């Protein structure tokens, strides 16, 4: 789909006589390289990937559940929203305020 969009855009540029249009031979060469290099390498990688044994986890998990500690105040959503959004916005707003006032 991406190549089709690129081809259509290039066709419109070619019809309009734009210097930004890529020659048709170059488009065919790019498509040939994609089908001749990228697609076969994808299938070769999938073949060798499926031949390998599955990845095992490096640790064993314990079947006994553990208690989860109580969250501190800064790991709750509201303080995270304030620290992640309002503080940076406030800093930039104050800096822009002083910069634009000095103009």
Q: What per-residue confidence (pLDDT) applies to 47?
A: 96
* Sign of torsion over alpha carbons 75, 78, 84, 88: negative
Task: Single out the residue of 32, 1, 23 nearest to residue 10, CA to CA.
Answer: 23
Over residues 16-31, the pLDDT tens digits come to 888 888 888 888 898 8
d(CA 37, CA 31): 10
Give the residue extent of every domain in the chain: 1-54+77-102
Over residues 35-49, the pLDDT tens digits come to 899 999 999 999 999
Can you read off the two tokens belonging to residue 7?
A: 């081809």
Q: Give how far the C-alpha of residue 23 lies from the chain's centroid of Cα atoms, to the nearest Å.
A: 30
Is the model's pLDDT at 88 over the cut of 70? Answer: yes
Neighbouring residues of 38: CB distance < 8 A, sequence distance ≥ 6: none
């Amino acid at each position: 789909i991406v190549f089709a969009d690129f081809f259509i855009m290039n066709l419109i540029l070619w019809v309009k006589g734009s210097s930004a249009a890529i020659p048709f031979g170059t488009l065919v060469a790019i498509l040939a390289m994609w089908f001749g290099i990228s697609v076969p390498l994808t299938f070769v990688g999938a073949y060798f990937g499926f031949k390998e044994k599955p990845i095992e986890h490096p640790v064993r998990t314990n079947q006994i559940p553990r208690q989860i500690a109580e969250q501190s105040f800064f790991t709750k959503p509201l303080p995270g929203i304030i620290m992640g959004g309002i503080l940076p916005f406030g800093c930039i707003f104050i800096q822009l305020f002083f910069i634009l006032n000095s103009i």
